[in-house]
Amino acid sequence: MNTETFEREVRSILDGLPKWVTDQLDNLVVVVEHNATHLQDPEGEGLFGIYEGIPLNERGVDYFGVTPDRIVVFYGPHLTLGLSGDALRDEIRTTVLHELGHHLGLSEERLHELGWG
């Protein structure tokens, strides 16, 4: 899968989100990057995605004028899995949904209950 196809897959996942999710999204951008080399964490190389921001359930009345939260989906680590077709698409979907769950403020337990683990 090339980068362009990967990005289309991420967009497709976002376009297919259920209404209960899209109704809650606020001040969020989703981007695709090759890998997590910008993180100063040696563990970052194997990251499939990351949520950077303030979860909805932690925002207070003083939340305004801030830059958008970001979800970054990393292309490189997904490809190193050696998956193709539906298996790779499922892995991308899980990553996107998992990071969206962090934006929504869902616990790890709830993410797993939803199959977003």
Q: Give ∠ CA 76-31-94 in degrees, rounded to 5.
A: 65
Q: What is the pTM of this model?
A: 0.89
Count of CB atoms situated within 10 Å of the CB of 76: 17
Domains and CATH numbers, the chain: 3-59+66-77+86-113 (3.30.2010.20)
Q: Is the pLDDT of residue 32 over 90?
A: yes
Measured between alpha carbons, how far is 56 from 50 in angstroms, rounded to an integer?
16
Measured between alpha carbons, how far is 27 from 74 in angstroms, rounded to an integer?
21
57 has which bridge partners? none
Give the H or E element holding residue 71: strand 69-74
Q: What is the pLDDT of residues 44-103, one digit of tens each?
A: 557 899 999 999 999 999 999 999 999 999 999 999 999 999 999 999 999 999 999 999
